[in-house]
Amino acid sequence: MLALLALPVLAGQQQLKGRVAVVLDVGGRGDLSFNDMGFKGTDEAARDFGLEMIEVQNATAADYLPNLRNLARTGQYDLIICVGFLLGDALSQAAEEFPNQKFAIIDSVVDAPNVMSIVFRENEMSALIGALAAMAAAYHGYPAAGMVLGIEIPVLYHFEAGFRFGMDWGLKKYAEVTGETPDVKLLYTYTGTFSDIAAGKAATEAMLAQGAVGVYNVAGPLGIGDLEAISEYHENAGTEFGPPYYFGVDANQDWMGGGKHGLASGMKRVDIGCYTAVKSVVEGTFKGGVISLGLAEGGVGISKVQDLVDFIQFGIDGGSITCDDFYPIMANWARNRATLPCWIWQAVDELEAGILDGSISVPTANTVEEMQAIRAEYTLGAP
């Protein structure tokens, strides 16, 4: 045994141009969402630019700072990417201690000259989901559309503001096309958690009871509970497709639950954020400050056919679904999408085009006051 151990396998290393490290949130790999996408984006960039990439996971939140310090101390990494806003505290300290080390962080703003803070304009993709939800509700004669949110933090205000604007736009569009004036309310709940799946289920059940055409998940894993409530609703009603729908978030979650209820997802492309950061270092354009990624940069978007194909593949690679699931999911998803007429999908595309060419600007909110102003402007049935 010892003789075997004494022969370290020295792999022939090809000459690599640099090194990047990606530091993940405590959730770690395997979430098929945030962390996995951070890994995927960095990995792709490393391969495209011929860099060596290492991945660092954290067993607990107390490991964030030591891991960043250990990486920075080596002085060997051209860029250290932190995936997730929980790493913000640790990074602001590490960035100060190692002013010559380049860092990037996803979803949080760290004010230091050596940190590139990558944030997303979630309001843009949420507007598309809001418009779709409102038009779906009006089309099927449902009185409401729902939104289950996590902890009330500024990032989630982006989602709520965009969704409100989108619903308003969708209802106006519906009136313009059909000549009817639908009355669709917004139901929304801040559950106060990003981890309690049961809270997502309970909130969704309450919304479905009030006639919600679907629920937009803005609380990561709570979506599992949201989808469970929706699936049970369909079972009890004896329906297979159609409303109520599930609207996914961050990753393309349309394939979840066999693709039967996921109508569309508001995607936040963490992978593109990581790719952008690595690219900027390779091209020498890296600088500290905030980089905002929206529809125009491909940083956010509403799920399309190709996204679904990519993400099912992602799920198969991750081992959560098998290759045999591919066509059944695609078929279910197509049947579910077919419960809405083509003109509604075209209207969503029209809104997207409007945002892209700048003719439509989606409001956003970063503070309670700004959020209240938007709530007052787009009341959507709430007092």
Partner 1 sequence: MTEVGPGRRFRLLRGAHRTLTGLSPAFESVLAGLVGLLVGAAIMYIWGYDPWRAYFALLRGAYGGSYEWASSVARGVPLVFTALTFSICLRAGMFNIGAEGQLYIGAVAAVTVAMFKLPSGLHLVVGLVFAALAGAFWSLGPAILKLTRGVHEVISTIMFNWIARFLVFYMVAYVLVDPHQAQRTIAIPPTARFPVLIRGTDLSYSVFLAVTFALFVYFLLWHTATGYEVRAAGFNPTAARYGGINIKRTVLLSFLLGGVGAGLAGASVVMGLPPTYAIISGLPQLMNVGFDGMAVAMVGRNHPIGILLAALFFGGLNAGGRVMQFYGANPVPLEMVRVVMGAIVLAMAIPELARMLPATLRALQGLKRLFERRPHVQEGAK
Applying CB under 8 A, the residues found at the interface with partner 1 are 1, 4-6, 8-11, 13, 21, 26, 28, 54-63, 65-67, 69-71, 73-74, 85-86, 89-90, 92-93, 97, 151-153, 192-195
Question: Which tokens belong to 66?
Answer: 């030591």
Contact of 246 with 227, CB cutoff 8 Å: yes
Q: Is 13 exposed, middle or buried (0-12, 13-18, 19+ CB in 10 A)?
A: exposed
Closest separation in Å from C-beta 348 to partner 1: 32
Closest separation in Å from C-beta 181 to partner 1: 38
DSSP string, 79-138: EEEEESGGGHHHHHHHHHH-TTS-EEEESS----TTEEEEEE-HHHHHHHHHHHHHHHHH
How far apart CA 303 and CA 299 sit, in angstroms, is 12
Closest separation in Å from C-beta 120 to partner 1: 18
Give the nearer residue to partner 1 in terms of CB position, either 93 or 339. Answer: 93
Contact of 259 with 333, CB cutoff 8 Å: yes
Closest separation in Å from C-beta 206 to partner 1: 20
- Backbone CA torsion sign across 73, 79, 82, 85: positive
Name which of 2, 268, 226, 274 is nearest 117 in CA terms. Answer: 274
Give the nearer residue to partner 1 in terms of CB position, either 195 or 361. Answer: 195
How far apart CA 266 and CA 301 sit, in angstroms, is 6
Closest separation in Å from C-beta 96 to partner 1: 10
Give the nearer residue to partner 1 in terms of CB position, either 21 or 344. Answer: 21
Give the nearer residue to partner 1 in terms of CB position, either 110 or 132. Answer: 110
115, β-bridge pairs: 103
Give the nearer residue to partner 1 in terms of CB position, either 26 or 360. Answer: 26
User: In angstroms, what CA-CA distances link 164 with 80, 124, 178, 187?
Assistant: 36, 11, 21, 10
Give the nearer residue to partner 1 in terms of CB position, either 47 or 172. Answer: 47
Give the nearer residue to partner 1 in terms of CB position, either 23 or 282. Answer: 23
Q: What angle do the packed helices 154-178 and 342-356 form, to 10 degrees?
A: 130
Closest separation in Å from C-beta 98 to partner 1: 9
DSSP string, 130-183: HHHHHHHHHHHT-SEEEEEE-S--HHHHHHHHHHHHHHHHHHHHHHHHHS----
Phi, psi of 341, rounded to the nearest 5 degrees: -70, 160
